[in-house]
Every structure is written in C-alpha cells, then in structure tokens.
A and B are shown apart, each in its own frame.
Chain A
Amino acid sequence: MRRAQPWRKVRAAFGTLAVRDRIRDADAFWHEFRSRAPARAAEPDTVRRTAAGPWSRPGIWRWALAGACGMLVAAWVTLRLFLMGAVSEPNTIKSLDVGVSHSAVLILNDEPSQSTILWVAGMEMRDQT
C-alpha cells in the first residue's frame, strides 16, 4: 500500500517518472508505425463507416422528427378547419316546429357575417303554463 508523499517530495517523484527516459528516437517510431500500418488497415473500420453519410450528421434525426411533427400538426389543423366548416357554407335549418301559435317565420342568412337568423313573428304566449 502506497503512502501519501509530502509535497516537497512530489518534484523528486515526478523526476523519476519523467517520460523523457522512455522516448524512442524517430527511426524506431517510424519503423514500428510502418510495421503496424498494414495490419491496422486490414481491420474492418466500423467506426469510419458508420460516421459516413449525411444521416450521421449530429442532430439531423431530431430535425427530421421535428419536421414530421410540424407536418402532422399542419395536416391536422387543415383537416380540422375543413371539417369544422371553414368552407363558406351557411348554417342550415333542416326542420322547424313552432309549439305556439304565431303569424310568420323568417329565415335570413346575413352574407357579410355568415350568420343565420330564425325569427318567429307574432308568437302568442297566452297559453303559457
């Protein structure tokens, strides 16, 4: 078990561990490099292959997902507006039954506001219970 060294000994300790003692000369380095290079090139380079191509760019899948979500929302909004009567059809009175005596019924479509007025004139409320 190693004991903690006092600070004044650190410098001396680093001196004994200095890398310069193990530095190889340039010829030895290149000799080893050239001997190992063919073997390294023959290995399947999976990292390099997966890193190639536009789909590996960082964040592209997030943007693709965001775009898909945006298109989904846009399609939904369009569909909803269409189904909810964004087309310029007026309200329609399909049937009407007035339960009290009256004199006339007026149905009016106001073009500017796209409103419909169903007005029952002359309603008699005397028989109200």
Chain B
Amino acid sequence: MKKTSALFATILLVSALSAVAGPTLSIRLVAATKQAAGGTRGLSDVAPVLEQNLPFSGFRHVASTTMSLPATGQTKKLNSYTVTCSGPQHDLAIVVRRGRKRLLSTKVSLQANKPLIVGGFPVEGGKMMLIFLAKP
C-alpha cells in the first residue's frame, strides 16, 4: 500500500513539475539544396513535409535552439541568423535577422506539435529556413 501511495505521489509530482515547466519552443535552422544531402538527421519529424512541398532534394540540419513559452523577447543566434521571439504561443511575435538586417517580422499562433516552416532566405547553392515547433 505504501508503494501505491508513493507511485501516485510521484505521478503528482511529475505532473506538477511539468505544469510548472510549461511549453517550449524549438527552433531549427535548415539548409535546403538542390543536391541530396545524404540523410535528414534531426529532421525526421518534418522530412516528409519538406520533401513533398519544397523544390529541393537535400535538407541539412544546421543548428537548433530552444526557449520557453511564453517567450520574453530573448534573441537566439543560429549561425548567421538571429531569431527574437516574444509573447505567448498563440500570439507569438517572431523577428528574423541576418547580421543587422531584418529579414522578416511575423506574428503567429502556433499549435502544439505542428511545425511552422519559415524560409526562403537565399544562400549560396540553396535556401535557408527556420522550423518552429511548440511542444507542450
């Protein structure tokens, strides 16, 4: 009986910690090229979407970062790109810069576990894109 009580106490504790931790936002920088990149390491969840909807043959995971939601205006650097996010998951403001140049600003409502792919940033031999994914 003590074991049962301990088990439920553990479940409650984990749930409480999870609730306190809150959702997170993962951001991945991906390079798309016309040549096959030899695998989609780190992109298994979005590989079908990329391959079926974008005119590229290779996708390479370049860098990634995470932040907690709601975002507090923190800026994350992903190679030569910087991403600034602020606001809650369903009213999230995103600013993407390369160097000092602002490439785009957008405000989005993100659903959990549904990727948002923001791309078209030109680089030599292809395009760069950012994949935003909110996780509960």
Contact = CB atoms under 8 A, between A and B. Distances in A.
Interface stretch (B8-16, B34-42, B60-68, B70-78): B8-16
B19 to A, nearest CB: 7
Given A62-B4, A73-B15, A115-B116, A94 B53 contact: no
A85 interface: yes
A116 interface: yes
Interface string A27-57: 0000000000000000000000000000000
A13 interface: no
Size category of the binding interface on chain B: 35 or more
A100 B103 contact: yes
A65 B119 CA distance: 52
Contacts, number: 135
A5 interface: no
* Interface class of chain A by DSSP: mixed
B98 A118 contact: no
Contact of A99 (B46, B102, B114, B116): B102
Contacts of B20: none
Interface in A60-106: 62, 65-66, 69-70, 72-73, 76-77, 80-81, 84-86, 89-100, 102
Given A85-B113, A90-B114, A94-B91, 10 more contacts: A65-B5, A69-B9, A70-B8, A85-B114, A96-B106, A98-B103, A99-B102, A113-B46, A115-B46, A119-B129
Interface of B: 1, 4-5, 8-9, 11-12, 15, 19, 23, 46, 48-49, 52-54, 89, 91, 98-122, 129, 134, 136
